[in-house]
Structure 1
Amino acid sequence: MTRNSKGSLVRPYPLPQSASTPVVTPLSPSVVYASETPDALDDQYEGRVHGYTYSREGHPNADVVAQRLDALEGAEGGVLTGSGMSAVSAVLLGLLKTGDHVVGGNQLYGRSLRMMKEDLPRLGIATTLADPGDVAAVAAAIRPETRLVLIEVVSNPTLRVADLDGLAALCREKGVLLAVDNTFTTPKAIRPFEHGANIVIHSVTKLLSGHSDVMLGYVVARDPALNERLRVFAVTAGLTPSPFDCWLAERGMLTFDLRFDRAQATAVALADHLAALPGVRRVIYPLRADHPDHARAAGLLGQRGCNMVSFELTGGRAAANAFTRGAEGLSFAPTLGDVGTTLSHPASSSHRALSAEERAALGLSEGFFRVSVGLEEPEALKAVFTEAVAAAAAVS
């Protein structure tokens, strides 16, 4: 407790007391928190009372957002981190050790793939990639030293749907942890713990906060002991998020349900519209009957196809350049979940580190785009895409 008896001290004044409480969560940017005595500090560190000491170890704004996310996922004790990839890192680096083996989905986000293929092996952690829609393929990849399987419910950017129930059963049988990145789908579409997952990961940067002005991640385990290991690693590695980003994220999450429903409804309409345009080779959206995993998507997601649509132009890089130039008013940017629709070109952004042959194996041609549908009026969005696809077709 800061004393206020010496007016000449730099920080002598306590917070003003009030009989009322703020409606909006206060922003708490303080890096440090003062305790009254060493005994009081012991009480905090040893868990007899709750309090804050140093913001790298936790702060009020992070706890508020973590509690909101816990409620969405049906979890307890989630850990907020500085980005989605730091949440992935907390799992892979905080729970695995040299000599362990991890299986990853073969269509993970590009940076997750890079970590699996380059960083973990450098640390003596072996990795294998397998199709998460094929339980037999994942089973064949599991070894005696396998400790964890990491998948996305819906893959980035090809929107393939994992066999979540089958993989959960396999991991239970083998005694392996199943970690699920739920960023694309969000808890509005699916709650992985209800399907047998052990760990859930989010890039809160995306649709949950929803305004492209926040960088945050979140990870939570079903087992409290695993949660504690994740928390300790995050604190030690300095993965703690800033209070301001947490404060902004909470504001964004207040409208998450509304934004999800609006963007998803528009995504359904846009996917059907794109499929009818000359110059579009294919459209990928989980609720469409021509999606390769349509039956599985219906079983897992019901009518929650989410706000992501992927499609492929008939042309190559020249057509891709013409398309982005023609998509007037839309942001060509490697992100998703914004209030405005954004376009992503995996070959030049998220998956640029892969070879051309590796991208081709995933179906990521130069004409492949991922669309994160925002809150625009559907008819206005259709008009923009019609013009942009026509511009691409003109150079194909």
Structure 2
Amino acid sequence: MRNSKGSLMRPDPLPHSASHPVVTPLSPSVVYASETPDALDDQYEGRVHGYTYSREGHPNADVVAKRLDAMEGMSGGVVTGSGMAAVSAVLLGLTKTGDHVIGGNQLYGRSLRLMKEDLPRLGIETSLADPADIAAVRAAIRPETKMILVETVSNPTLAVADIDGLSALCKETGILLVVDNTFTTPRGFQPFDHGADIVIHSITKLLAGHSDVMLGYVVARDPALNERLSVFSVTTGMTPSPFDCWLAERGMLSFELRFERSQATAAALADHLAGMPGVKRVIYPTRKDHPDHDRAMDLLKGQGCNMVSFELEGGRAAANAFTRAADGLNFAPTLGDVGTTLSHPASSSHRALTPEERAGLGLSEGFFRVSVGLEDPAALLAVFSEAVAAAAAS
């Protein structure tokens, strides 16, 4: 419509309908109009629910948060613009200068960088310890230690943390236990059932599952911590895109089916690689030769998830030959796609570490992390056979 001076006036945005959409509508609006200042007060003071400015929340983010809340058996979770935004919300939003944080010594590369470089720059001291060695973690605790951050299954070495032992230690000392559950997902492991205080996910990965979304999620057992995480993420602009949330909800509808299919193929791939000349070692949680096999079987109940890591003989030359010959597989620093992807930590996620630091983590130039997708298993094994043979020939 137009007013008397001819300027464009917005009509009501949604015509009335006696029916409702089957698919969640995409809500890209940055702002939401209220009727009066009193009505806006009611929203901000919690007497009614409503949206104001999309940095403070929007419908698509709430839909995704509620789905993940249900998966983790909690409420009040916060969706962020990336997985690292969720990690940062915890480490920066719940600590202050003078605090101390312990991290697992085999965290994702950017989490390690945050622990080793950014937190100390802000006066937050950090230490790293093996999350499977409770004595080592206990030795790292100081009076000012506020939290311990670990990955259930580490990225990319697939080491399995002693979550039960860490939970007992944290309860004894009053320290928060923060678990990044990205690799295992809620389908493979439920951290809150094992005493975690805070759980983090990179929705970008297997939960959304199509390499077209950048999102994170964090939820705490304590509602007061959820409120602090929410306020910090809003203040620092960690708000997710409505479109990414809309895509993520679509991906999450098929998540359980994708998880089961890719997990079954991953187990077959791990066994296949283990018998091939030129493969130095294979890492998969349910294999009996995994260093943490007994713990993995106890914690994960036989769920190996969709990630396989392995090491080629021959170093960088073999790695280059392998990726060239892996026809149809994307060599890319990601995981959780519908297609299988290959990642080389020495040239991607852990490139900021020195060669000596990478060697200490077991990340040689021949080390690969595989995110197994939904391809025909027989065809996928054939591709790996040809690529490993090419690497050996190099």
The question of a shared fold, defined as TM-score above 0.5 by the shorter chain, is answered with yes
Q: Which amino acid aligns with 1:157?
A: P
Q: Give distance in 2, aligned partners of 1:233 and 1:31.
A: 19
Q: SS state of the match for residue 129, structure 1?
A: strand
Q: Give distance in 2, aligned partners of 1:78 and 1:9.
A: 42
Paired residues of 2:2 and 2:8 also in contact (CA < 8 A): no
Which residue matches 1:153? 152
Q: Which amino acid aligns with 1:182?
A: N
Which residue matches 2:137? 138
Which residue matches 1:290? 289
Which residue matches 1:317? 316
Paired residues of 2:197 and 2:221 also in contact (CA < 8 A): yes
Paired residues of 1:102 and 1:148 also in contact (CA < 8 A): yes
Deviation at 1:303, TM superposition (A): 1.6
Q: SS state of the match for residue 202, structure 1?
A: strand
Q: Deviations over 1:154-199 (max 9, x none)?
A: 0000000000000000001000000000000000011101100000
Q: Give distance in 2, aligned partners of 1:122 and 1:345.
A: 29
Deviation at 1:274, TM superposition (A): 0.3
Q: Give distance in 1, aligned partners of 2:8 and 2:360.
A: 63
Q: Give distance in 2, aligned partners of 1:350 and 1:323.
A: 19
Match of 1:12 among 5, 10, 15: 10
Q: Give distance in 1, aligned partners of 2:171 and 2:313.
A: 43
Deviation at 1:6, TM superposition (A): 4.4
Alignment of 1:15-34 (within 5 A): 15-34=14-33
Q: Give distance in 1, aligned partners of 2:176 and 2:391.
A: 45
Alignment of 1:229-248 (within 5 A): 229-248=228-247
Alignment of 1:186-335 (within 5 A): 186-335=185-334
Q: Which amino acid aligns with 1:260?
A: F
Q: Give distance in 2, aligned partners of 1:199 and 1:224.
A: 11
2:392 aligned with 1:389 = no
Q: TM-score, normalised by structure 2?
A: 0.99
Q: SS state of the match for residue 80, structure 1?
A: strand
Which residue matches 2:81? 82
Deviation at 1:10, TM superposition (A): 2.6
Q: Deviations over 1:25-77 (max 9, x none)?
A: 00000000000000000000000000000000000000000000000000100
Q: Give distance in 1, aligned partners of 2:87 and 2:8.
A: 41
Alignment of 1:105-144 (within 5 A): 105-144=104-143
Q: Which amino acid aligns with 2:31?
A: V
Which residue matches 1:376? 375
Runs of 4+ in 1 over 2 A off after TM superposition: 4-12
Which residue matches 2:102? 103
Q: Give distance in 1, aligned partners of 2:376 and 2:169.
A: 43
Q: SS state of the match for residue 135, structure 2?
A: helix
Paired residues of 1:6 and 1:12 also in contact (CA < 8 A): no
Which residue matches 2:51? 52
Deviation at 1:9, TM superposition (A): 4.8
Which residue matches 2:161? 162
Aligned residues with identical type, % of pairs: 80
CA spacing shift, 1:179–1:11, aligned 2, 3 Å: farther
Paired residues of 1:200 and 1:221 also in contact (CA < 8 A): yes
Q: SS state of the match for residue 177, structure 2?
A: strand
Q: TM-score, normalised by structure 1?
A: 0.98
Q: Deviations over 1:110-150 (max 9, x none)?
A: 00000000000000000000000111110100100000000
Paired residues of 1:208 and 1:337 also in contact (CA < 8 A): yes
Paired residues of 2:2 and 2:9 also in contact (CA < 8 A): no
Q: Give distance in 1, aligned partners of 2:173 and 2:358.
A: 31
The number of residue pairs the alignment matches comes to 392
| Unaligned segments of structure 2, at least 5 residues | none
Q: Give distance in 1, aligned partners of 2:357 and 2:324.
A: 27
| Unaligned segments of structure 1, at least 5 residues | none
Paired residues of 2:210 and 2:338 also in contact (CA < 8 A): yes
Superposition RMSD in Å: 0.9
